[in-house]
Protein backbone atom coordinates (compact mmCIF):
# COMPACT_ATOMS: atom_id res chain seq x y z
CA UNK A 1 0.00 0.00 0.00
CA UNK A 2 1.14 3.53 -0.82
CA UNK A 3 2.56 5.29 2.24
CA UNK A 4 2.81 2.09 4.25
CA UNK A 5 5.66 2.13 6.78
CA UNK A 6 8.31 -0.56 6.21
CA UNK A 7 8.35 -3.42 8.69
CA UNK A 8 11.43 -3.36 10.93
CA UNK A 9 12.97 -6.69 11.90
CA UNK A 10 15.45 -6.65 14.81
CA UNK A 11 18.24 -9.20 15.01
CA UNK A 12 21.73 -9.47 16.52
CA UNK A 13 24.21 -11.18 14.21
CA UNK A 14 27.22 -13.35 15.04
CA UNK A 15 29.00 -14.37 11.85
CA UNK A 16 31.44 -17.02 13.02
CA UNK A 17 31.18 -19.68 10.32
CA UNK A 18 32.52 -19.53 6.80
CA UNK A 19 28.98 -19.68 5.42
CA UNK A 20 25.54 -18.74 6.72
CA UNK A 21 23.43 -21.33 8.45
CA UNK A 22 20.08 -22.29 6.96
CA UNK A 23 18.08 -19.97 9.21
CA UNK A 24 20.08 -16.83 8.34
CA UNK A 25 20.16 -17.78 4.66
CA UNK A 26 16.36 -17.91 4.62
CA UNK A 27 16.12 -14.63 6.55
CA UNK A 28 18.36 -12.70 4.16
CA UNK A 29 16.59 -14.15 1.14
CA UNK A 30 13.25 -13.12 2.64
CA UNK A 31 14.54 -9.58 3.25
CA UNK A 32 15.98 -9.24 -0.27
CA UNK A 33 12.70 -10.35 -1.81
CA UNK A 34 10.90 -7.59 0.11
CA UNK A 35 13.33 -4.79 -0.59
CA UNK A 36 11.83 -1.47 0.41
CA UNK A 37 9.19 -3.15 2.55
CA UNK A 38 11.54 -4.35 5.28
CA UNK A 39 14.32 -2.83 7.36
CA UNK A 40 16.71 -5.35 8.88
CA UNK A 41 17.91 -3.66 12.06
CA UNK A 42 20.97 -5.16 13.76
CA UNK A 43 22.19 -3.48 16.95
CA UNK A 44 25.02 -5.92 17.68
CA UNK A 45 27.19 -7.33 14.90
CA UNK A 46 30.01 -9.80 15.51
CA UNK A 47 32.31 -10.93 12.70
CA UNK A 48 34.40 -13.79 14.03
CA UNK A 49 35.70 -15.74 11.09
CA UNK A 50 33.48 -15.41 8.05
CA UNK A 51 35.33 -14.43 4.84
CA UNK A 52 34.84 -10.79 3.98
CA UNK A 53 33.24 -11.44 0.59
CA UNK A 54 30.38 -13.13 2.46
CA UNK A 55 30.27 -10.40 5.09
CA UNK A 56 30.04 -7.76 2.37
CA UNK A 57 26.85 -9.29 1.02
CA UNK A 58 25.30 -9.14 4.49
CA UNK A 59 26.39 -5.55 5.09
CA UNK A 60 24.55 -4.57 1.90
CA UNK A 61 21.30 -5.93 3.36
CA UNK A 62 21.53 -4.77 6.99
CA UNK A 63 20.51 -1.23 7.93
CA UNK A 64 23.97 -0.03 8.96
CA UNK A 65 22.60 3.06 10.67
CA UNK A 66 21.05 0.82 13.36
CA UNK A 67 24.29 -0.85 14.42
CA UNK A 68 25.51 0.19 17.87
CA UNK A 69 28.13 -2.47 18.63
CA UNK A 70 30.60 -4.10 16.25
CA UNK A 71 33.22 -6.74 16.92
CA UNK A 72 35.70 -7.76 14.22
CA UNK A 73 38.00 -10.70 14.90
CA UNK A 74 38.67 -12.34 11.56
CA UNK A 75 42.48 -12.19 11.16
CA UNK A 76 42.14 -9.60 8.43
CA UNK A 77 45.01 -7.96 6.63
CA UNK A 78 45.10 -4.21 6.23
CA UNK A 79 43.78 -4.31 2.62
CA UNK A 80 40.74 -6.31 3.76
CA UNK A 81 40.13 -3.81 6.56
CA UNK A 82 40.24 -1.08 3.92
CA UNK A 83 37.42 -2.87 2.08
CA UNK A 84 35.36 -2.81 5.28
CA UNK A 85 35.93 0.87 6.08
CA UNK A 86 33.19 2.35 3.84
CA UNK A 87 30.64 0.23 5.70
CA UNK A 88 32.09 1.29 9.06
CA UNK A 89 31.57 4.93 8.15
CA UNK A 90 27.86 4.28 7.58
CA UNK A 91 27.40 2.96 11.14
CA UNK A 92 26.65 6.44 12.40
CA UNK A 93 25.09 5.28 15.68
CA UNK A 94 28.03 3.09 16.63
CA UNK A 95 28.80 3.19 20.37
CA UNK A 96 31.27 0.31 20.71
CA UNK A 97 33.94 -0.98 18.32
CA UNK A 98 36.17 -4.00 18.93
CA UNK A 99 38.88 -4.66 16.35
CA UNK A 100 41.28 -7.58 16.77
CA UNK A 101 44.06 -9.25 14.82
CA UNK A 102 44.66 -6.99 11.85
CA UNK A 103 48.04 -7.56 10.25
CA UNK A 104 49.97 -5.61 7.66
CA UNK A 105 50.60 -7.64 4.53
CA UNK A 106 54.31 -7.94 3.74
CA UNK A 107 53.52 -6.96 0.17
CA UNK A 108 52.18 -3.49 0.99
CA UNK A 109 54.37 -0.49 0.24
CA UNK A 110 54.68 2.28 2.86
CA UNK A 111 52.66 4.55 0.58
CA UNK A 112 49.86 2.01 0.27
CA UNK A 113 49.91 1.38 4.01
CA UNK A 114 49.48 5.09 4.68
CA UNK A 115 46.60 5.22 2.20
CA UNK A 116 44.81 2.28 3.85
CA UNK A 117 45.33 3.67 7.36
CA UNK A 118 43.95 7.03 6.27
CA UNK A 119 40.92 5.35 4.73
CA UNK A 120 40.24 3.56 8.00
CA UNK A 121 40.88 6.40 10.45
CA UNK A 122 38.89 8.95 8.44
CA UNK A 123 35.73 6.93 9.04
CA UNK A 124 35.88 7.88 12.71
CA UNK A 125 34.96 11.43 11.72
CA UNK A 126 31.47 10.05 11.02
CA UNK A 127 31.13 8.10 14.28
CA UNK A 128 29.69 10.81 16.48
CA UNK A 129 28.43 8.46 19.21
CA UNK A 130 31.47 6.23 19.67
CA UNK A 131 32.27 5.78 23.37
CA UNK A 132 34.10 2.47 23.64
CA UNK A 133 37.07 1.56 21.46
CA UNK A 134 39.00 -1.70 21.75
CA UNK A 135 41.96 -2.48 19.48
CA UNK A 136 43.91 -5.70 20.06
CA UNK A 137 46.85 -6.95 18.01
CA UNK A 138 46.37 -4.25 15.39
CA UNK A 139 49.76 -3.91 13.77
CA UNK A 140 49.21 -0.76 11.71
CA UNK A 141 48.86 1.57 14.72
CA UNK A 142 52.61 1.96 15.17
CA UNK A 143 53.43 5.54 14.25
CA UNK A 144 49.87 6.21 13.12
CA UNK A 145 47.91 6.53 16.37
CA UNK A 146 47.70 10.30 15.91
CA UNK A 147 45.69 9.79 12.70
CA UNK A 148 43.10 7.79 14.58
CA UNK A 149 42.97 10.05 17.63
CA UNK A 150 42.58 13.21 15.58
CA UNK A 151 39.45 11.78 13.96
CA UNK A 152 37.61 10.99 17.20
CA UNK A 153 34.57 13.23 17.47
CA UNK A 154 33.37 12.56 21.02
CA UNK A 155 34.91 11.78 24.43
CA UNK A 156 35.62 8.09 24.91
CA UNK A 157 34.66 6.24 28.07
CA UNK A 158 36.74 3.15 27.29
CA UNK A 159 40.01 2.93 25.38
CA UNK A 160 41.79 -0.41 25.13
CA UNK A 161 44.88 -0.64 22.94
CA UNK A 162 46.37 -4.03 23.73
CA UNK A 163 49.15 -6.23 22.36
CA UNK A 164 50.15 -3.59 19.83
CA UNK A 165 53.43 -1.83 19.10
CA UNK A 166 53.41 1.88 19.86
CA UNK A 167 56.12 4.49 19.54
CA UNK A 168 56.91 7.18 22.09
CA UNK A 169 55.31 9.67 19.70
CA UNK A 170 52.10 7.59 19.80
CA UNK A 171 52.04 7.85 23.60
CA UNK A 172 52.59 11.58 23.36
CA UNK A 173 49.70 12.01 20.94
CA UNK A 174 47.53 9.88 23.21
CA UNK A 175 48.27 12.11 26.20
CA UNK A 176 47.36 15.20 24.16
CA UNK A 177 44.11 13.90 22.69
CA UNK A 178 41.02 15.80 23.95
CA UNK A 179 38.78 12.76 23.39
CA UNK A 180 40.48 10.70 26.12
CA UNK A 181 40.18 13.22 28.95
CA UNK A 182 37.10 11.53 30.45
CA UNK A 183 38.17 7.89 30.26
CA UNK A 184 36.74 5.41 32.75
CA UNK A 185 38.82 2.53 31.40
CA UNK A 186 42.37 2.67 30.05
CA UNK A 187 43.82 -0.69 29.06
CA UNK A 188 47.33 -0.84 27.60
CA UNK A 189 48.07 -4.52 28.26
CA UNK A 190 50.89 -5.94 26.21
CA UNK A 191 52.18 -2.58 24.96
CA UNK A 192 55.95 -2.76 25.33
CA UNK A 193 56.91 0.35 27.28
CA UNK A 194 60.31 -0.72 28.61
CA UNK A 195 62.37 1.56 26.38
CA UNK A 196 59.95 4.48 26.26
CA UNK A 197 59.72 7.62 28.33
CA UNK A 198 56.59 7.37 30.48
CA UNK A 199 56.09 11.10 30.95
CA UNK A 200 53.25 11.03 28.37
CA UNK A 201 51.57 8.26 30.38
CA UNK A 202 52.00 10.36 33.52
CA UNK A 203 50.35 13.29 31.73
CA UNK A 204 47.51 11.08 30.55
CA UNK A 205 46.88 9.66 34.02
CA UNK A 206 46.81 13.16 35.42
CA UNK A 207 44.26 14.16 32.80
CA UNK A 208 41.90 11.25 33.53
CA UNK A 209 42.43 11.09 37.30
CA UNK A 210 38.92 12.38 38.06
CA UNK A 211 37.15 9.69 36.02
CA UNK A 212 39.43 6.64 35.65
CA UNK A 213 38.02 3.45 37.19
CA UNK A 214 40.09 0.74 35.48
CA UNK A 215 43.79 0.87 34.62
CA UNK A 216 45.43 -2.09 32.89
CA UNK A 217 49.21 -2.09 32.48
CA UNK A 218 49.85 -5.84 32.42
CA UNK A 219 52.88 -7.21 30.56
CA UNK A 220 54.19 -3.81 29.50
CA UNK A 221 57.78 -4.53 30.54
CA UNK A 222 57.81 -1.52 32.87
CA UNK A 223 60.99 -1.48 34.98
CA UNK A 224 61.96 0.10 38.30
CA UNK A 225 63.33 3.31 36.85
CA UNK A 226 60.05 4.00 35.02
CA UNK A 227 57.60 3.38 37.85
CA UNK A 228 58.45 6.55 39.76
CA UNK A 229 57.41 8.60 36.72
CA UNK A 230 53.77 7.57 36.93
CA UNK A 231 53.37 7.32 40.72
CA UNK A 232 52.34 10.94 41.45
CA UNK A 233 49.58 10.84 38.84
CA UNK A 234 48.48 7.32 39.81
CA UNK A 235 48.11 8.34 43.45
CA UNK A 236 45.49 10.93 42.41
CA UNK A 237 43.23 8.49 40.55
CA UNK A 238 40.73 8.41 43.40
CA UNK A 239 37.94 6.76 41.37
CA UNK A 240 40.11 3.77 40.49
CA UNK A 241 38.46 0.43 41.33
CA UNK A 242 40.77 -1.95 39.44
CA UNK A 243 44.51 -1.65 38.91
CA UNK A 244 46.29 -4.44 37.03
CA UNK A 245 50.07 -4.27 36.82
CA UNK A 246 51.07 -7.91 36.35
CA UNK A 247 53.99 -9.05 34.26
CA UNK A 248 56.26 -6.06 34.86
CA UNK A 249 59.78 -6.92 36.12
CA UNK A 250 60.04 -4.68 39.17
CA UNK A 251 61.84 -5.16 42.46
CA UNK A 252 60.54 -5.62 45.98
CA UNK A 253 61.50 -2.04 46.84
CA UNK A 254 59.60 -0.65 43.86
CA UNK A 255 56.50 -2.67 44.73
CA UNK A 256 56.59 -1.37 48.29
CA UNK A 257 56.85 2.18 46.96
CA UNK A 258 53.97 1.53 44.57
CA UNK A 259 51.79 0.20 47.38
CA UNK A 260 52.53 3.30 49.44
CA UNK A 261 51.27 5.48 46.61
CA UNK A 262 47.94 3.64 46.41
CA UNK A 263 47.20 4.13 50.09
CA UNK A 264 44.61 6.87 49.49
CA UNK A 265 42.78 5.10 46.67
CA UNK A 266 39.83 4.06 48.80
CA UNK A 267 37.72 2.76 45.91
CA UNK A 268 40.21 0.08 44.87
CA UNK A 269 38.45 -3.29 44.85
CA UNK A 270 40.97 -5.36 42.89
CA UNK A 271 44.73 -4.92 42.71
CA UNK A 272 46.96 -7.22 40.64
CA UNK A 273 50.71 -6.80 41.01
CA UNK A 274 53.69 -8.77 39.68
CA UNK A 275 55.75 -11.07 41.84
CA UNK A 276 58.88 -9.14 42.86
CA UNK A 277 61.81 -9.68 40.54
CA UNK A 278 63.59 -10.98 43.63
CA UNK A 279 61.33 -14.07 43.49
CA UNK A 280 63.20 -15.45 40.49
CA UNK A 281 66.58 -17.12 40.17
CA UNK A 282 69.24 -15.69 37.86
CA UNK A 283 67.97 -17.84 34.98
CA UNK A 284 64.41 -16.58 35.43
CA UNK A 285 63.08 -19.65 37.24
CA UNK A 286 60.54 -18.90 39.93
CA UNK A 287 61.65 -19.83 43.45
CA UNK A 288 58.32 -20.69 45.03
CA UNK A 289 59.49 -20.51 48.64
CA UNK A 290 61.03 -17.08 48.08
CA UNK A 291 57.88 -15.90 46.31
CA UNK A 292 55.75 -17.07 49.24
CA UNK A 293 58.04 -15.27 51.69
CA UNK A 294 58.08 -12.01 49.73
CA UNK A 295 54.34 -12.25 49.10
CA UNK A 296 53.73 -12.52 52.84
CA UNK A 297 55.98 -9.53 53.47
CA UNK A 298 54.18 -7.45 50.86
CA UNK A 299 50.78 -8.44 52.20
CA UNK A 300 51.89 -7.47 55.69
CA UNK A 301 53.15 -4.16 54.36
CA UNK A 302 49.80 -3.48 52.71
CA UNK A 303 47.88 -4.24 55.89
CA UNK A 304 50.11 -1.88 57.82
CA UNK A 305 49.01 0.86 55.42
CA UNK A 306 45.36 -0.01 54.75
CA UNK A 307 42.84 -2.83 54.54
CA UNK A 308 42.77 -4.04 50.92
CA UNK A 309 39.58 -5.49 49.47
CA UNK A 310 41.31 -7.93 47.11
CA UNK A 311 44.98 -7.88 46.25
CA UNK A 312 47.06 -10.49 44.42
CA UNK A 313 50.74 -10.76 43.59
CA UNK A 314 51.14 -12.78 40.40
CA UNK A 315 54.09 -14.51 38.76
CA UNK A 316 54.86 -14.57 35.07
CA UNK A 317 53.13 -17.23 33.00
CA UNK A 318 54.40 -20.76 33.64
CA UNK A 319 56.23 -22.13 30.60
CA UNK A 320 54.70 -25.58 31.15
CA UNK A 321 51.02 -24.93 31.87
CA UNK A 322 50.57 -21.31 30.78
CA UNK A 323 49.09 -20.22 34.12
CA UNK A 324 50.29 -17.81 36.76
CA UNK A 325 50.99 -18.53 40.42
CA UNK A 326 49.57 -15.86 42.67
CA UNK A 327 49.80 -14.87 46.31
CA UNK A 328 46.75 -13.52 48.08
CA UNK A 329 45.77 -14.78 51.46
CA UNK A 330 47.79 -17.87 50.58
CA UNK A 331 49.87 -19.14 47.69
CA UNK A 332 47.86 -20.57 44.80
CA UNK A 333 50.23 -22.50 42.58
CA UNK A 334 49.92 -23.25 38.89
CA UNK A 335 48.69 -26.70 38.02
CA UNK A 336 51.87 -28.19 36.55
- State the greatest distance between any 2 C-alpha atoms of the chain, in Å, as a whole number: 81
Helix (H, G, I), strand (E, B) or coil at 306: coil
Per-position DSSP letters for 12-58, written without gaps between them: -EEE-SSS--HHHHHHHHHHHHTBTTEEEE-SEEEESS--HHHHHHH
Contacts of 148 (CB under 8 A, 6+ apart): 120, 121, 124, 141
Q: Are residues 160 and 136 in contact, defined by beta-carbon separation less than 8 angstroms?
A: yes
Q: What local confidence, expressed as pLDDT, does residue 294 receive? A: 93
Do 158 and 251 sit in the same domain of this protein? no
Give the angle 65-137-117 at the CA atoms, nearest 5°.
60
Do 336 and 246 sit in the same domain of this protein? yes
Q: What local confidence, expressed as pLDDT, does residue 1 receive? A: 44
First-to-last C-alpha distance (Å) of the chain = 69
Residues belonging to the chain: 336
Strand 158-162 vs strand 326-327: parallel, antiparallel, or unpaired?
Answer: unpaired
Q: What local confidence, expressed as pLDDT, does residue 332 receive? A: 58
Do 106 and 32 sit in the same domain of this protein? no
Whether 223 maps to a domain, the answer reads no
Domain count along the chain = 3
Which residue among 35, 66, 97 closes a domain? 66
Q: What local confidence, expressed as pLDDT, does residue 333 receive? A: 59
Whether 202 maps to a domain, the answer reads no
Q: What is the mean pLDDT of each run of 10 residues along the chain (336 residues)?
A: 71 84 80 77 92 91 94 94 96 98 86 94 97 96 95 96 96 97 98 96 98 98 96 97 97 95 93 94 90 92 87 86 74 56
Give the angle 51-52-53 at the CA atoms, nearest 5°.
95
State the CB neighbour count (10 A cutoff) for residue 105: 12
Do 78 and 39 sit in the same domain of this protein? no
Q: Are residues 184 and 158 in contact, defined by beta-carbon separation less than 8 angstroms?
A: yes
Whether 120 maps to a domain, the answer reads yes
The backbone torsions φ and ψ at residue 189, rounded to the nearest 5 degrees and listed phi first, read -55, 135
Do 246 and 261 sit in the same domain of this protein? yes
Whether 322 maps to a domain, the answer reads yes
Q: Which domain holds residue 99?
A: 68-182
Give the predicted TM-score (pTM) of the model.
0.92
Do 78 and 58 sit in the same domain of this protein? no
Helix (H, G, I), strand (E, B) or coil at 177: coil
Whether 197 maps to a domain, the answer reads no
Amino acid sequence: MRGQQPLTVFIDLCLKNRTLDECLTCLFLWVKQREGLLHLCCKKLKMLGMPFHNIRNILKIVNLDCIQEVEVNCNWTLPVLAEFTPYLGQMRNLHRLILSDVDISHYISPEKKKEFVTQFTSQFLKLCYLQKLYMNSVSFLEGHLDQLLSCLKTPLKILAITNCVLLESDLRHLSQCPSVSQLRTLDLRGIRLANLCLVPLQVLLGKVAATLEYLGLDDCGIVDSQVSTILPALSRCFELTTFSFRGNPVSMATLENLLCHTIRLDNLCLELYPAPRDSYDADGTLCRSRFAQLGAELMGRVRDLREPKRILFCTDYCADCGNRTFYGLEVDQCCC
